[in-house]
Structure 1
Amino acid sequence: MKKILVTGALGQIGSELVAKLSDEYGSHNIIATDIRSGCYEGPFEIVDVTNAQRLYEVAKKHDVDTIMHLAAMLSAKAEEAPKKAWDINMGGLLNALEVARELDLQFFTPSSIGAFGPSTPKDMTPQDTLQRPTTMYGVNKVSGELLCDYYYERFGVDTRGVRFPGLISYVTPPGGGTTDYAVEIYYEAVRNRYYTSPIAEHTYMDMMYMPDALHAIVTLMEADPAKLKHRNAFNIAAISAAPKDFANAIRKYLPDFVLDYQVDPMRQKIAESWPNRIDASAAKEEWGFRAAYDLDAMTRDMLEKIAEKTQVKRSS
C-alpha cells in the first residue's frame, strides 16, 4: 500500500483508521472520503458510494493503489430501513469493487460477526461454517463476503477482509450497531456511574478494542498474499463478554457503578443470533493476528481516556 482511498472515513472505524494510516504512510497519501465534509488535514473528497462514477473519478484523480471500503449502514439501523441498507451496503460495495477491478487496486472491506446466524455454532465459531443470518445487515455481510471472493477468483482483484466483532472506542460515537452498548456503558460509567443496558445480562458477544482492530487491518493488508488461504472474512476476536462482565470490570475502578437493564427486543434478538465466541485461529496462522487488549486492559484505558476527554475526575 502506498496511496489509499478510504470510504466512510468519518465513521466509527474510518475516522480512527485514517489517523493510523496517516501515521503509517503519510497524510498526503491517504484520501479520506465521506458523504459529508469533515475535519482532516490530508486530501478529502465528498463521495457517495452509491455513485459509481464519482467513486471512480476520485480514485483515478488521486492515483490510488488501494481502496479501504468502510461506508455502510450498521445492524440496528439496517433493520429500521432494510432497502436503504441493501442499496448502500451492497450497491456501494459493488461500485467499490468495480473501481478496484478497473484500476487494478488492492481492496479491503470488513465483514462482521453479523454474518453468522442462529444456526451457526455459538462457541468457538469456525472460520468456515454455516452462515444463515436473520438480519438485513447479516445478509449484506454474507453477500459481501461472497462478492469479494468472486472478484478475487473471477477478476484477480486482491480483496481482503476480516469479520469484526463489536468494536469499542472512546474516540468516535457509535453509529447504530447492536454492540454499541459496550461503548455507551463506559461513557455513562464515567459521567453518571449508572447505565441501563438494552442487552440482557448474560448475552455474550465478541468484542475488540479499536487499536487492535486498526492494527489487524494494516497487518492483513501488508501480509504476503501467498500465505492467505481464506483471503476474505477472517474471524478475528479478542474479548467475549456480556453486559455483566463489563460492569464487573468497570467496578474494579469505579466501585459505585450501577448497571440496570431495559432490554430492547430488536437488539436482543439480533444479539442472540450471533456467536458467543469465535475461533480466530485461521487469522493467527495465515497472517499473524494477535490482540493486545483483554477486557481489563481495555476497561482501564477506556475509563482513563473518557475521563480526560470529558474532564470528569475518576476515583481510584
Structure 2
Amino acid sequence: MDKEIILITGSSGQLGTVLAEKLQKKYGVENIIATDLRENPTFNGVFDTLDVTDFEAIEATVLKYKITQIYHLAAILSANGEKHPLSTWDINMKTLFNVLEVSRIHKISKVFFPSSIAVFGNNIERSNTPQSSNLTPSTVYGISKAAGENWGKYYFDKYDLDVRSLRYPGVIGYQSLPGGGTTDYAVDIFHKAVKNEDFECFLSSETMLPMIYMDDAIRATLELMEAPKEKITVRTSYNISGLSFTPNQLASSIKEKYSSLKINYKPDFRQEIASSWPMSIDDTQARKDWDWKPKFNIKTLTETMLKNLELKYNNNLINS
C-alpha cells in the first residue's frame, strides 16, 4: 500500500492537538502535516500556517506534501459562533467547500469532517436521540455542521469521495484549555478544582448532556477512518456516545477528591443552546458498522482528568 500522508486543518485546537500526536505514532511524524491559522512553536513535527478559507493555499499544501488524507477540524465553535453568526457560517462553510473541492480534484482517498450534537434541535427525542433524528439546529455552528453532513454525503454520492464523519458529544480532555463550546464547562471545572479556585457554571446544575472523554473521541475517529469502505453505511455523520451527566453529577465526582470545590450556577445564553441538545445518544449504527464502544465512565474520566492536570500544574509551578 502507498504511504499515507495526512493533512490536519485546525490542528492546534482541542481535538487536533491530540489527534496529530496519535496519527504521528501510527503513520510516522514526517507523514503528518499539521496546520493552523497561527504558528504553533510547541508542535513537535511538521507544521505549516494555513488559512483554510484560501483555496489556492490548501491546494498548494496538498501538492507540496502529496497529501492522501485530510482531517478537516478547523471551525468556529457553538458559543463563540453565536457572537458573529454570519462570519461563522461563512468561515465554516467556505473552509469545508475548499477541502471537499481540493479533495475531489486531487483524488484524496479519505476526508474526515467532524460534526456535532449541535446539529440536533428541540424537536428530537432527547433521551437516546436516534441516528435519523430531524436536524433543526439552534445555533449557526449547528446549522453549518448539518449542512456539512449533507455536503459530505453529496460528494460521496456524486464523486465517490470517501467523506466520513462523527457527531461528537462534548469532548473532555486535559491537553488544552476550553475553546468556546457549550459543553466546555466540563473541561473548565477540572482546571478550577486543581487550582483551588471557585467555579462559575454557565449551565444549570441539572442540565444533562452527552459527553465523551478525549481518548474515546480520538479512538472513535481512528476506528471510523480505518474501517473498510463497504462497512460505512452512514454518509452524513455517525452518532457516537460516551457518557451523559449533569454539572451537579460531575461536581460530585470531582468533590470526592476536591471536597472544597465551590460552584456558583449562573446560566447564560448557552443554557438555551444546551436545552435544545440531546441528553443521551443512541449510537447503535456505529456499534454495528465498525464495532464502536466507549471505555470511560464518569469515575474513570474524573480520575484521569485530575491526575493529568495535577501533573501539569505542579510542573508549571516547579518550572516557574
Tell me the TM-score normalized by structure 2.
0.95
Which residue of the partner structure matches residue 222 of structure 1? 226
Give the aligned partner of residue 99 of structure 2: 96
Structure 2 counterparts to residues 1-316 of structure 1, below 5 A: 2-38=4-40, 39-105=42-108, 106-192=110-196, 194-264=198-268, 266-311=269-314
Q: CA separation in 2, counterparts of 1:222 and 1:14? A: 18
Deviation at 1:16, TM superposition (A): 1.0
Comparing 188-197 with 43-52, greater Cα deviation is found at 188-197
Percent identical pairs in the alignment equals 39
Give the superposition deviation at 1:308. 0.8
Q: What code does the residue aligned with 1:229 have?
A: T
- Structure 2 letter corresponding to 1:35: L
Bigger Cα displacement from structure 2, 160-169 vs 228-237: 228-237
* In 1: Cα distance, 2:303 partner to 2:96 partner: 36
Deviation sequence 1:156-197 (CA, Å, 0-9, x none): 100001000000111111211001100000111111253111
Displacement after TM superposition at 1:231 (Å): 3.4
> Matched residues in 2 for 1:162 and 1:25: separation?
22
Q: Distance in 1 between matches of 2:190 and 2:263?
A: 11
Which structure 2 residue ranges, 5 or more long, are not aligned? Answer: 316-320
Alpha-carbon distance between aligned partners in 2 of 1:154 and 1:179, rounded to the nearest angstrom = 35
Q: Which amino acid aligns with 1:54?
A: A
C-alpha deviation, 1:25, in angstroms = 1.0
CA contact (8 A) 2:152 2:235 kept: no
1:50–1:87 contact (8 Å) kept in structure 2: no
RMSD (CA atoms): 1.3
- What amino acid does structure 2 have at the position aligned with 1:121? E
Instruction: Write the deviation string for residues 40-99 of structure 1: whole angstroms up to 9, x where unpaired.
Output: 232211111110110011011100110000000000010001111111111100100111
Bigger CA drift: 266-275 or 246-255? 246-255
Q: Distance in 1 between matches of 2:66 and 2:236?
A: 24
Does the 8 A contact of 2:172 with 2:211 survive in 1?
Answer: yes
CA displacement, residues 104-124 of structure 1 (integer Å, 9 cap, x when unaligned) = 111001000000001121011
Deviation at 1:253, TM superposition (A): 1.7
Distance (Å, rounded) in 2 between the aligned partners of 1:65 and 1:117: 35
Provide the secondary structure at the position in 2 that maps to 1:311. Answer: helix
d(CA) in 2 for partners of 1:136, 1:224: 33
Deviation at 1:15, TM superposition (A): 1.0
SS at match of 1:248: helix
Between 1:232-241 and 1:69-78, the stretch displaced more is 232-241
> 1:105-160 CA distances to partner (integer Å, 9 max, x unpaired)?
11001000000001121011001111111210111010000000000001110000
Give the structure 1 partner of residue 318 of structure 2. none
- Measure, in 2, the Cα distance between the counterparts of 1:218 and 1:311: 32
Distance in 2 separating the partners of 1:176 and 1:193? 20
The offset of 1:258, in angstroms, is 2.3
Specify the SS of the correspondent of 1:141. Answer: helix
Q: Which amino acid aligns with 1:297?
A: T
Structure 2 SS opposite 1:290: coil
User: How many aligned residue pairs are there?
Assistant: 312
Q: Which runs of 4+ in 1 moved over 6 A?
A: none
C-alpha distance in 2 between matches for 1:217 and 1:278: 17
| C-alpha distance in 2 between matches for 1:53 and 1:273 | 38
TM-score scaled by length of structure 1: 0.96
Relative to structure 2, which stretch is displaced further, 190-199 or 42-51? 190-199
